Amino acid sequence: METFAQFCASIRACRVCEAHLPLGPKPIFQLAPTATLMITSQAPGRVAHTSGIPFSDASGDRLRAWMGVTLAQFHDASRVAIFPMGLCYPGTLAGAGDAPPRPECAPLWRQPVLDRLPDLRLTLLVGSYAINHVLGAGRVADRVRAFRQYLPAFFPLPHPSWRSVGWMTRNPWFEAEVLPCLREEVQRHFR
Model confidence pTM above 0.75: yes
Q: What is the pLDDT of residue 93?
A: 87
Q: What is the pLDDT of residue 97?
A: 80
Q: What is the pLDDT of residue 181?
A: 98
Number of residues that this document lists for the chain: 191
DSSP the chain: ---HHHHHHHHHT--TTGGG-TT------B--TT--EEEE-S---HHHHHH-STT-SHHHHHHHHHHT--HHHHT-TTTEEE--SSSS---EETTTEEPPPPTTHHHHHHHHHHHT-TT--EEEEESHHHHHHHH-S--HHHHHHTGGGGTTTEEEE---STHHHHHHHH-THIIIIIHHHHHHHHHGGG-
Q: What is the pLDDT of residues 103-113, one digit of tens each?
A: 999 999 999 99
Q: What is the pLDDT of residue 18?
A: 96
* Local mean pLDDT, 10-residue blocks, the chain (191 residues): 95 96 96 98 94 95 97 97 97 85 96 98 97 97 98 97 88 97 95 82
Kindly list the distances between the CA atom of residue 178 and the CA atoms of 40, 68, 100, 109, 161, in Å, as whole numbers in the listed order.
18, 12, 26, 30, 17
Q: What is the pLDDT of residue 95?
A: 74
Alpha carbon distance 58, 14 (integer Å): 27
- Single out the residue of 65, 7, 104, 22 nearest to residue 183, CA to CA: 65
Residue at 74: amino acid letter: F
Q: What is the pLDDT of residue 163?
A: 81
Q: What is the pLDDT of residue 164?
A: 83
Strands 37-40 and 122-126: parallel
Strands 97-98 and 92-93: antiparallel
Q: What is the pLDDT of residues 56-77, one digit of tens each?
A: 999 999 999 999 999 999 999 9
Q: What is the pLDDT of residue 74?
A: 98
Q: What is the pLDDT of residue 105?
A: 96
